[in-house]
Amino acid sequence: MVLAVFIVVFIGIRSVNYIYHLNWSGDQGSFATQALNIFRTRTPTLIGPEISATLNGRFIFQGPLIYYFFIFFLFIGGWNPVTASYLFMIFCSLMIIPLYYGVKKLINQKAALIIIVIYTLVPYYLNYTRFLWNTTLQLSLLPILILLMGLFKEKKQWTYLFLTAIWLGVLLQFHYQFILVIFGIFLYYFIFKKLSIFYILFFIFGLIIGFSPIILFELKHNFYNLQTMIMFVKNWDKVNKPGNAAMPHYYIALSFMGILGISGIFRERMKKFPSYVIFFSALFIGIYALIINVSKPKAAFWAPTSPWNYLAEKKIYDIIRATGMKKDFNIANLAYYDTKSVVVKYFMKRDSYQIDYEDYYHNKYLFVVTEGNKYLQTLSYEVAFFKPNKILNKWKINDRYDMLLLERI
């Protein structure tokens, strides 16, 4: 009954103004496009998207499970980003069940209640369980890891440690900072718990299985990722690093597993924690979470600019579709850090528009999302080289941005 209440609350709070909070921007558009291509061509891949850091055109690739999870949720959601993201949010809510039983077995019941309160209501985790992304996928799968660890503690069977290690390898595919969690769990089992070398062998073998797609890719491509990592380390000052260490999504899984670790350290104190304190804490955090979600946000979570959200992307696509244009055009979005408008292009590829999506030199028409006349001064080649031109039409996207239809003359 308690878990059912938490699941309902989890879904209910996240459903408030859901479409206005929804993050479906550059990464989602890119991942979804690749997932759609894999699905349509039936061509499996051993690698996923690259990390943001680059050096001389070289990338480090993450695991392919990112794309396969996108395929799963998009397919059952009819390739509609809103439906797919909402289904993912429901999936996250159901993870309350393995999370509760996992923490209960691993630590105790009071700790389990506290952690599902945090997972359900704390704004940091609330925001990151509302949309599809590699780090949010990783967070959503942590409860299975915790359940496997709890089962190993309860039953003392090597198979559960083996499955735990496999799952650790699987989770590493979604974000490489998870290696810190793997290192911490290794220390927990083999330094503090002093498990035998017999278990170490199963642990390492399990990691290899879980991470096997990337390992196979490395073997087939002369250890491309490993060589790139070495290059990054040797030339760290020259690496292009678009993000920074303060970006909150880097710490989703690390922080959650850190909370689990702290709960384990203070397990005896948590056992004595009054139930009414947990109840009123959950009530207070829940009211706060509801209040900050009731107001309709001007921009989606992690939006590239403000005001901007999924509805703006959908409006752009609907306008383009209404024009009836099917060829000889392209689109540039100057509201974005990625000016190629990958979200709208996902819609177009989904609906089988047959244009050259990468060609900005020979297209006769160009849709440009711009703030006022700033497109005239842009250095983005998609627009800067589309000259001379004339304006054929103009549409208002929101209070800040318009979309122009330009014709090359």
The DSSP secondary structure of 89-156, one letter per residue, reads HHHHHHTHHHHHHHHHHHT-HHHHHHHHHHHHH-HHHHHTTSS--HHHHHHHHHHHHHHHHHHHHHH-
pLDDT for the residue numbered 246: 66
For the stretch 140-184, pLDDT in tens is 999 999 999 999 999 999 999 999 999 999 999 999 999 999 999
Q: Is the distance from CB of 253 to CB of 135 less than 8 angstroms?
A: yes
pLDDT for the residue numbered 243: 64
In this structure, what are the phi and psi dihedrals at residue 223, rounded to the nearest 5 degrees? 55, 50
**Rounded mean pLDDT, 108-133:** 96
Q: Is the pLDDT of residue 338 over 90?
A: no
For the stretch 273-291, pLDDT in tens is 888 888 888 899 999 998 9
Q: Which tokens sit at 137?
A: 């996928």
Q: Is the pLDDT of residue 232 over 70?
A: yes
To the nearest whole percent, how much of the chain has pLDDT over 90? Answer: 85
Q: Is the distance from CB of 369 to CB of 333 less than 8 angstroms?
A: yes
> For residue 176, how many other CB atoms are within 10 A of its CB?
15
The model's confidence at residue 245, banded by pLDDT at 50, 70 and 90, is low
Q: Which tokens sit at 130?
A: 């509302």
> Average pLDDT, whole number, for the chain?
94
pLDDT for the residue numbered 239: 86
Domain ranges of the chain: 2-294, 310-408
**Rounded mean pLDDT, 188-196:** 92
**Rounded mean pLDDT, 306-330:** 96
pLDDT for the residue numbered 270: 84
pLDDT for the residue numbered 52: 84
* Nearest-angstrom CA–CA distance, 137 and 109: 26
Q: Is the pLDDT of residue 96 over 70?
A: yes
The model's confidence at residue 240, banded by pLDDT at 50, 70 and 90, is confident
